[in-house]
Structures are given as C-alpha cells and as structure tokens.
Structure 1
Amino acid sequence: MSKPAVDYSLYLVTDTGLNHPSRTLVQSVEDSILGGVTLVQLREKELDTEAFIALAREVQVVTRKHNVPLLINDNIEVALAIDAEGAHVGQDDVSCVEARRLLGPNKILGISTGTPEEAKKALADGADYIGIGTCFMTQTKSPKRTLGPIGVRTILEVIPADAPLKTVVIGGIKHDNTRRVIAHSAGSNGRILDGIAVVTGIVGAVDAKLASEQLLSEFKAGFDMASQRLQGKVAPAASVEEVLKSFPRLLTTLREKSPLTHHISNYVAMNDTANATLALGGSPIMAPSASEAEDLSKVVSSVVLNIGTLTESFVECMLEAGKHANAQAKPVVLDPVGAGATTLRAATTRRILNAMHVDIIKGNAGEISTIAGIIGCQSESIAMRGVDSIGSGFTDPSAVVRAVAKRENCVVAMTGVVDYVSDGVRTVAIENGHPYQGRITGSGCMIASSIASFAAISPKDHFAAAVAGILALNLAGEHAGARDDVRGPGTFRAAFIDEIANLNPEQLLTEAKVRTVAL
C-alpha cells in the first residue's frame, strides 16, 4: 500500500477534555470534516492503550467514510493496531527515526518542532511534515515561549524551497489570526505554510462545521496573500511623482473628514500628540484601556501604538487595539519608542509585531535597527541612549528601510536629519524640517500621529500617508522656525502647533524636498 496523498490545509487535533459538551468527540470529528478539515490527529494523553484503540476505531470509521487521513499522536502501538494512515510524535516522544522504522515507509509521519535546528533534523530524519509551534498561547500547552509569525518564518527559512517536507503551524490558531499568520510567516525562500493545526478553535466551538469552514477560508486567503506577495503579483503602486501630486488633496480631505484616531500613547507626549492631531485637522481619542478597544475599533479610522510608556495595562491595550483594528481593516501605526534601549522595550516591540499586522512602522535609526534584528534583517546595529539614537546612523539608510518594509510587508518611516520612507518598492528621502523639532519632547510622536491621520484617509496607499504625514509636520517646523517670535525650543513648540494648523495644502507640493532613492 502506497503512502496516501495528504492535504494539510486544515488539520484537526483532537482533545476530549476541550470538546464541546453538546456533542461527542466522534461527532466533532465528523462535523469538522464536513466543514473542510483535511487531516485528523487523534491526541488523547489520558487514555490507556485499550481505551485509546477503542476510540481510534470509532473515529476511523468517520475519517475513512470521508477519505480523510487519520494520524495517532504519540502512540505507535495504537497507530499500528488500527492501521492508521500515520502518526505524530513530539520532541520528547519516540524519535522520528525509530517511529519511521516501526511505521514503515508508507505511513505519514509528523514531528513537533520549535526551532530551526529541530526542523532541519526532522527533514534529515525522514519526517513527512513538521508541526511548527507553539505560535501563540493556547489552552492545551504552557510553552516556555511562543514563536509568533516571526519565529515561524525563521523556521520556514531553513527548509529548502524544493524540500518535500510539509509544514503546519499550531498553537492558538483561530479564525481571526489565521490569515495574518499565514501571510506574515512566509519565508524569503518562497516557503509558505502548508496548513494550520487547530484544537480548541474546532472541537471547543459550538458549531464545529462552521468553525472549520471559517478557518479554511482564512487559511486560503492568507495563502493567496503570501503567494501574491512572494511572486510580486501585487497591484501596481502609484509612482512617487503621482504620490507627491496627491498631497494637497490628501490634506484637504483630512480636514474635511477629520478622521478619528485611537491613540495609545505615552504620558510625556500625550497632550502634544492630541494637539498636533487637532491642528492638522484630525480628531484624537486618547484611550489606554483594553476593555474599550473593541468598541473603539468600530468607530475610529486608524490606531497609533506608542510604547513610550511601558506598563502592562498599556501593552494589553495595544494588543487589543491592534487585533481589533486588523479585524476592522483599520490602519495600525507603530511608534516603537526606545525599542533598543532596554530588553523590555525590544521584547514588547517583538510581541506587538507578532500579535498583529502593523501597516506603518515609524521610528528613528536605533528603533529601526532593533526591529531589523527582531525580524531577521541583517543591518548595522545603531546604539540608543534612552529614546534617542546615537552615532552617525546607517551607512545606507534607504537600503535598511526598504529591507524591513519588504520583509514585514508594510511601510517603514525612519526619522532623522533626513527622513526615509519605503514600502519595499518605492523609497524616498525627505529633506524638509527644522533642527528645533529634535529639541522638543514628543516631536517624533507627533509625526506618528500625523501619519495615522493621513493613513485614515489613504487606505489604499500607506506609503503616501507616511510621506505626507512626515512632510506636513516638517514643513510646519520650517515655518515655525522662521518666525520672528520664535526664540528657542520653548517658543518653537507653540509656534509649531500654530503652523501645523496654518499649513496650506498647496505647500505640500510646492515646498516639498522629497527625492526618490533608486534601488
């Protein structure tokens, strides 16, 4: 008998203890298959061998009726007793090599992996697939650490593109995060996850069939997004020249619509970011409570996540706000204030990037350097002192922002004496601005708020929003610095807010010092 063909798209892993009380486990399996489950693993850690075999035979009647392969978790004896299509083992179970010897060459064999080294060993040892995890926190396990899409991608990238080893992700996979996990974990080597492995999201659901349908739909959507991005099959972007011409219209639209932006910001700059948003023509709501993030996501037009004030309640609010903004397709702007200054700030930045899709990242050279390291982009390391970068910056800043943007599938805006913005394809340098902007607290935070306001009315081109958001405040800085009543940073602060409000839309076109940076 030859090895069965396997579709790993939607992989159900059972758990009697989490099964919904309205039905038996066997009913859950059948309902899930009717909803689109393509592979079933029977995982029952608490049953003795005799009871495990009895349950496995019941489940097998259903899986064979629907021609869906059945695998047995961590019990080769049970797999052989019922002639299952294969088995799955963990790192602490029987070795992959021994499992293959016992099962023979024509059975499906999978193994759990949590590191690149384990993935490479699984390939060498003859596994058919690996279960990569734990991706997120889950009810079934208490992992020492979670991988998130960034960690999953790191593992995918050590598997050669032409290797026969298949990959599924497991751990906290739900219908509201599946698409993002699949799209964002795709490796630079062209590898995309072959499927998702789900426990609670199916067996614990009130309607296992509906839950399976939703999960499969989200997996396919994420796979298509990843495929199109890796193959370069994305809608052609407007040229930089076309983007520049759109700026007067964007500012006019912003002032007409006054989009509401949800700020989770730091206490130091909160008042300044609110005033800058109002002066620009937007509408801020400063709401650092996780309990209202879902309700706000339905009425706001964009979200700013600023990690300047690092308390657990702020972080939890950011995670909730970002998750719900993603669900509502509202743009998320991350300002990783001081990301490289402490271990906590770097870890929080990683946590946010793993938990949601960030549409625009805005930071200084030190912060972008930290993010490059988190996501596995090679770049120079830029030191930080508190929330400020120190040193001369990157040798080639445009290459760094382009690489980070391309890897994270987002827009990256790096501020400094010259600002750089890239979406991975288009890259520009912005040479407007005034030195006093760097001598007042919160000027960078205000730029993040400005970007978020423009992103709210430019949903199809976040690159344009980021460039416009920086340019608008830099022009206001130039105008404020040139005023006769400005004597230093203190008087500049008040004049700066005034000049943001006084900006003429046409000035964004006529006074812009924006140049395209060629690849």
Structure 2
Amino acid sequence: MLKNIIDKTKKTTPLVHAITNYVTVNDCANIILAAGGSPIMADDINEVEDITTICNTLAINMGTLNKDTIEAMIVAGKHANKLGHPVILDPVAVGASNWRNIGFAKLLDQVKFSVIRGNVSEIKAVYYGSGNTSGVDVSEQDIITQKNLNQTIKLAKELSKKTGAVIAISGEFDIVTDENKAYVIKNGHEVMTKITGSGCMLTTVIATYCGANYDDVLGATVASVCSMGISGELAYDKMIKTDSGYSSFRMYLIDYMSKLEGEAVERGAKYEIQ
C-alpha cells in the first residue's frame, strides 16, 4: 500500500496549494518538493479561488492566523470542496484563545476536510470545543502513552465519524484513523520536536500524497506519517555521525524525504492496525 501511494505521488507531481503560517512556509514548500509535489503558497483572498482551481490539493495551517487569512482559507476550502480536491487542516494551537477557537469553528462549519492533523491537545480541543493547549506544543497531561492509547484511538475514531475526516495525531505514538480502522505508527525520533515546523511539514506532505491519491486518503495519510518518521530517523543518525545539531537535522530531514523511495518506506514502516 505505502509503496504504491509514494510511487504514484512521485509519478504525478501533484500541485499543492498551501495556506500556511509564515514561520514555516519555506520548510513547507521544500518538503512538498521533496515529497514529490509542487508547491504554491498563496493566501490572498483575491486569488485563492484561482490558485485552488489549478491545484490538486489544499493544505490549511492555522499557525499565524489573522482575520484576512481565515476568510481566505474559507474561500479556498469551499472552492476545493466544489472541485472535489482533498483539503487538509492543521488546527495549530486551537484551544489557546477564544478568537482562534471562533476562527476554527468557522472553518469547520463551512469547509469539509479530508484530513485533520494535529498533536493530541489540538485534536482534543477540536473534539471537545476547548482544551489544554500550551501554545503549539502538546500539554503534558495529554501526552499519548501505552496506558491511554486505546482511549485516544476511541476519541479519534469518534471525531472522524463526526467530521468525516481522517484524523492524524502526532506524538510519541502517531495515530491515523478513520471511523473504523486505526493505524498506530512508531516511526520517528524525538529530535523532530526540537525544530520548528516538523508538524507543519507533515501536514503538507499529507496534502501532497493525498493530491495524488484521492481514492485512498487514509492510506495516503499513513504513508505520509511513516515517510516523515523514517526521514526523521535517518536524519538523526546522520546528525549523530556528523556531530551536528538541530539546524543540520532540519536540512537532513528534507534531504532524506527527497531521497526516500516507496520500497524503503514499505520496509521501514512500523505500525499496528487497531
């Protein structure tokens, strides 16, 4: 499954419209290219419909939210829905402020999302309508452990049923699920949490893979999480071998994503199905 998704992505080079935050926009553009797609980073309301029309998929990231980008996201999202394009949402720091919650509620009310990806605190805030987010980081009481894994999967499946979206939760264990089938993915390295934007990059990889695999959004999301995790493992190994640091790790992460082939992901993916 994973090999076919990645091979199809590299063969078709989907055009990805990303309305993302300005802290990580360059990394997101580069990881889209590395994953086999082609990025367009357009967020002005006057052109988002036109850009969405020529693209295959849309990624929406709420990281540096403002009133103008909310409206642009809604316009782009509704148009992508009309065209039948996958729409991927990264609800960054939802639950952290009332204004951000209102913006998220508008998005969820007016746009149909194919995938919602966040850390467990963000996903809980989406589920409950409020939460314990610590800025963009997961709250300590929300961290996924073996003890609360089944409960977290249950919540994610219920949220998938409620929204119609595949739910992807990033953490020590990554969870990707629709309302029926959950994948618990154990690829990756903790150093990925030490650079800004690893989650944002993952969201755009998901958009890239989904843009080439409309018919298997769940599988494309699993392939994305595994690919990023494996790239992180390889990047960490190289960081240690070269006695380098976090900035180099970011570069190596993108390097390995660009070199990763479908067969390597199929071999290296570590997941269980529940």
> Could you say which TM-score interval applies, normalised by the shorter chain?
over 0.9
Shift of 1:340: 1.4
Query: After the TM superposition, which residues 331-350 of structure 1 pair with which residues of structure 2 at under 5 Å, given as runs?
Result: 331-350=86-105
**Letter paired with 2:255:** D
Q: Give 3-state SS (helix, strand or coil) of 2:208's partner.
A: helix
Matched, 1:369 2:118: no
Asked if the contact 1:485/1:491 (under 8 Å) is kept, the reply is: no
Shift of 1:368: 0.4
The structure with the largest helix share of the pair is: 2
For 1:493, the equivalent position in structure 2 comes to: 250
Shift of 1:303: 0.3
Q: Which deviations, in whole Å up to 9, do the C-alpha atoms of 1:208-247 show, x marking residues without a partner?
A: xxxxxxxxxxxxxxxxxxxxxxxxxxxxxxxxxxxxxx21
Q: Give 3-state SS (helix, strand or coil) of 1:459's partner.
A: coil
Shift of 1:486: 5.2
Aligned with 1:446 (options 173, 176, 201): 201
Asked if the contact 1:436/1:488 (under 8 Å) is kept, the reply is: no
Structure number with higher relative contact order (C-alpha < 8 Å, ≥ 6 residues apart): 2
For 2:223, the equivalent position in structure 1 comes to: 468
Q: Which deviations, in whole Å up to 9, do the C-alpha atoms of 1:340-373 show, x marking residues without a partner?
A: 1111111111110001101100010111011101
For 1:503, the equivalent position in structure 2 comes to: 260
Q: Give 3-state SS (helix, strand or coil) of 2:262's partner.
A: coil
CA distance in 1, matches of 2:118, 2:102: 16
CA distance in 2, matches of 1:310, 1:371: 16
**What TM-score, normalized by structure 1, do the two folds share?**
0.50
Asked if the contact 1:247/1:508 (under 8 Å) is kept, the reply is: yes
Shift of 1:436: 1.2
Matched, 1:354 2:103: no
Matched, 1:436 2:207: no
Q: Give 3-state SS (helix, strand or coil) of 1:448's partner.
A: helix
Query: After the TM superposition, which residues 69-108 of structure 1 pair with which residues of structure 2 at under 5 Å, given as runs?
Result: none
CA distance in 2, matches of 1:382, 1:514: 28
Query: After the TM superposition, which residues 297-312 of structure 1 pair with which residues of structure 2 at under 5 Å, given as runs?
Result: 297-312=52-67
CA distance in 2, matches of 1:515, 1:468: 13
Give the CA RMSD over aligned residues.
Answer: 1.2
Asked if the contact 2:2/2:266 (under 8 Å) is kept, the reply is: yes
Structure whose CA Rg is larger? 1
Unaligned runs of 5+ in 2: none
Task: State the aligned residue count.
Answer: 266
CA distance in 1, matches of 2:87, 2:79: 10
Asked if the contact 2:49/2:75 (under 8 Å) is kept, the reply is: yes
Unaligned runs of 5+ in 1: 1-245, 375-380
Query: After the TM superposition, which residues 97-496 of structure 1 pair with which residues of structure 2 at under 5 Å, given as runs?
Result: 246-374=1-129, 383-393=132-142, 395=148, 396-483=151-238, 484-485=241-242, 487-496=244-253
Q: Which deviations, in whole Å up to 9, do the C-alpha atoms of 1:63-85 show, x marking residues without a partner?
A: xxxxxxxxxxxxxxxxxxxxxxx
Q: Give 3-state SS (helix, strand or coil) of 1:276's partner.
A: helix
The 4+ residue runs of structure 1 with deviation greater than 6 A are: none
Q: Which deviations, in whole Å up to 9, do the C-alpha atoms of 1:366-401 show, x marking residues without a partner?
A: 110111013xxxxxx752211111114263211111
CA distance in 2, matches of 1:253, 1:408: 27
CA distance in 2, matches of 1:456, 1:295: 17
CA distance in 2, matches of 1:329, 1:288: 20
Q: Which deviations, in whole Å up to 9, do the C-alpha atoms of 1:100-121 show, x marking residues without a partner?
A: xxxxxxxxxxxxxxxxxxxxxx
